[in-house]
């Protein structure tokens, strides 16, 4: 998990990089778990499909190196397959080049929310340095409410 987090931050070229500031990765994982547990709202992670089927989440986004998704993530994404076939959810696979290899982006959107797919790809593939504005936009695209995004930004960007 921590290698994926580090790779994601490298890919995003984050202005804020908690990974660079922590030498002990076990303490980083503890910090992230505590932060996520203490949020006053439901985090979508590992709940994407249920939230989408309930109409509460318009977009789900997964990214890793081509052929590098962990088996547990692959099994989870297979749960989306029947809903994609039934056209309750739309799937888009996108590949992009990175200095370290090829990124595989997998996005799922509710019908009528497909515009979010290109908006998310434009956001994460931008050459701009990652900022709080981009973090907020990502949250908006994923279906988090404004107050949730504001709370998240306050937690991760406060110094």
pLDDT tens for each residue of 132-141: 999 999 999 9
pLDDT tens digit at each of 159 positions of the chain: 334 434 444 444 333 334 444 444 455 566 567 777 888 888 888 889 999 999 999 999 999 889 889 999 999 999 999 999 999 999 999 999 988 889 999 999 999 999 999 999 999 999 999 999 999 999 999 999 999 999 999 988 875
The DSSP letter of residue 130 is B
Q: Are the C-beta atoms of 96 and 102 separated by less than 8 Å?
A: yes
Supply angle C-alpha 112, 109, 8, rounded to 5. 145
Which uninterrupted H or E stretch holds 5? helix 2-12
63 vs 86: CA distance, rounded Å: 24
**Structural domain boundaries of the chain?**
2-157
pLDDT tens for each residue of 52-75: 999 999 999 999 889 889 999 999
107 vs 59: CA distance, rounded Å: 7
């Amino acid at each position: 998990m921590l290698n994926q987090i580090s790779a994601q931050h490298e890919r995003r070229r984050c202005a804020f990089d908690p990974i660079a500031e922590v030498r002990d990765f076990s303490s980083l994982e503890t910090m992230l778990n505590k932060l996520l547990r203490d949020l006053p709202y439901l985090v979508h992670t590992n709940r994407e499909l249920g939230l989408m089927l309930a109409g509460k989440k318009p977009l789900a986004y997964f990214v890793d190196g081509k052929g590098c998704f962990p088996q547990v993530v692959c099994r989870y994404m297979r749960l989306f397959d029947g809903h994609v076939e039934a056209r309750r959810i739309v799937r888009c696979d996108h590949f992009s080049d990175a200095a370290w290899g090829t990124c595989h982006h997998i996005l799922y959107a509710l019908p009528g929310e497909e515009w979010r797919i290109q908006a998310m790809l434009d956001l994460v593939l931008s050459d701009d340095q990652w900022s709080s504005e981009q973090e907020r936009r990502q949250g908006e695209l994923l279906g988090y409410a404004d107050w949730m995004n504001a709370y998240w930004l306050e937690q991760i960007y406060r110094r």
